[in-house]
């Protein structure tokens, strides 16, 4: 049966709240490995020694296995200790609403991230940065500038400011907020310093 509509974050929350209670260790040690192995066997998923698949049918079977894995297993919410249920039809309807193209940045630095097909001659968007690695406060803008100045880089991803005003940016404290806002300022400053103020961050 077709799905009445795609889920959104609100309906997903309601489904978690009314979902089946499951122990986290049962989910981790039994549900996931059991169902993943069952999908592997059902769809005959066996990678050969190739890093990138050369067998299109294998890639298609892997897609079907992933859809059924999500539909037959659901998704676990560790805070609630409950698992959400979603049908295959709802999954397929849900991915239809996802964008095929997004734009990042502004002005001369605006880039479009569009769906590629296979190994298109159009390269992917290059997002440069420490990707969440810890960075000293003293060199943070300089390090971000080292990414922003690279011609190959289209957008930036930030690092983690190790301290702010010399204090650790501890989670769930006001210092965390101060550090987050400082990070954004430093990254913007790095973009401006290399003449790319509109870079997506």
Partner 1 sequence: MVMIAGWSTADDIIMMEQMPIFGGYSGGVEETAICDVATMLASFALFDCDIHLDGPIHIRWGTTTTRETLQIAAHAAAALDRNTDLLLANQYYTLAGPCTEMCLLEVATQAITDTASGRELISGSASSKGVVKDKTTGMEARMMGEAAAAAAGMEIPEVNRILDNLVSSYRDYYLKPPAGKRFQDCYDVKEIRPTDEYLGVYDKALKTILKCGIYI
Site for partner 1 in 139-178 (CB under 8 A): 139, 142-143, 145-153, 157, 159, 162
Q: Give residues 34-53 in contact with partner 1 (rule: CB under 8 A).
A: 36-37, 39-40, 45-47, 50-53
- Shortest CB 46 distance to partner 1, Å: 6
Scan residues 113-132 and list those touching partner 1 (CB under 8 A). 113-132
d(CA 177, CA 6) in angstroms, rounded, equals 34
Nearer to partner 1, 23 or 150 (CB): 150
Backbone φ/ψ region at 103: left (φ over 0), alpha (ψ -120 to 50), beta: beta
- Residue among 46 and 165 whose Cβ is closer to partner 1: 46
Stretch that binds partner 1, among 87-95, 172-180, 181-189 (CB under 8 A): 87-95
Answer yes or no: are the C-beta atoms of 64 and 160 closer than 8 Å: no
The whole-angstrom distance between residue 101's C-alpha and the CA centroid of its chain comes to 16
**Contact call for residue 181 and partner 1 (CB under 8 A):** no
Which residues touch 25 (CB under 8 Å, ≥6 apart)?
none
Structure tokens at 60: 């298609």
In whole angstroms, the minimum distance from the beta carbon of 172 to partner 1 comes to 14
Which stretch in 136-144, 167-175, 181-189 sits in contact with partner 1 by CB under 8 A?
A: 136-144
Burial 131-153 (b: 16+ CB within 10 A, else e): eeeebebeebbebbbbbbeeeeb
């Amino acid at each position: 049966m077709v799905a009445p509509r795609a889920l959104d974050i609100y309906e997903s929350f309601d489904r978690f709240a009314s979902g089946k209670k499951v122990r986290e260790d049962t989910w981790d040690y039994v549900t996931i490995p059991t169902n993943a192995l069952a999908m592997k066997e059902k769809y005959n998923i066996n990678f050969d020694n190739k890093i990138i698949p050369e067998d299109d049918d294998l890639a298609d079977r892997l897609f079907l296995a992933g859809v059924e894995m999500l539909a037959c297993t659901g998704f676990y919410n560790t805070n609630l200790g409950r698992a959400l249920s979603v049908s295959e039809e709802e999954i397929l309807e849900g991915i239809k609403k996802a964008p095929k193209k997004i734009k990042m940045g502004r002005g001369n630095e605006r880039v479009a991230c569009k769906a590629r097909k296979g190994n298109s001659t159009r390269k992917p968007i290059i997002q440069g940065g420490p990707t969440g690695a810890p960075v000293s406060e003293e060199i943070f803008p300089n390090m971000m500038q080292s990414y922003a100045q690279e011609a190959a880089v289209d957008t930036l991803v930030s690092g983690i400011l190790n301290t702010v005003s010399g204090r650790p940016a501890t989670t769930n404290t006001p210092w965390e907020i101060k550090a987050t806002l400082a990070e954004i300022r430093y990254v913007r400053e790095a973009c401006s310093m290399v003449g790319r103020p509109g870079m997506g961050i």
